[in-house]
Amino acid sequence: MPQQPLYADYKDREFQLPALVESQRQGWIFSAQAAAVVSVLFCGAETQLIATIKGDTPPEGAAGAYKFLLLLSYAAFLLNASATIASLLMIDRLGDMPKRALLCFPDGPPEKVRVEYLLEDYGVGDGWAWMRNHCLFSLVAGSWCMVLQIFLWSFQQDAKAVWITTAGLCAFGISPWLIFIKRK
């Protein structure tokens, strides 16, 4: 008789994650879904910006700025694409948590767990913190590249009053990130 995989013994059992773990899991699923949507929209915007930049002739004497603008475009696209992929992988891992927790705790959940590692302790898997940080870094860095791009594009292409206004709007746009990072 062929041997069945380990998880076959548990196929009819249900495992309820503790309320706190499930709450964190659902919160991260929602956050990862939002990050995936936002980052893929940023990728679409970057594709259009790259086409516009590559189709434009660099202003005379601004070849260095033009190359930097193109570099920011590629960086923003790749970072946002990476954030999309990381978000989807996170959602997949979070979806498998109840099954993985059942395999980790066939006799029920432990009485004590480390609060700071709830998701890891309940089966989200190794590398969760790295994947989460990678996703957040990629999303924020890609967004910053886009803001710098818009400023640099405006600086190269627009009248002084327009790019000064754009600079102010860029600073205002990134202020929530600065305040959040400062308070953390």
Say what the pLDDT of residue 2 is: 52
Flag the least confident range among 91-95, 109-113, 116-120, 173-177.
109-113
64 neighbors 26 (Cβ within 8 angstroms): no
pLDDT at 44 over 90: yes
The model scores a pTM over 0.85: no
Say what the pLDDT of residue 85 is: 95
Nearest to 23 by CA among 118, 114, 111, 100: 118
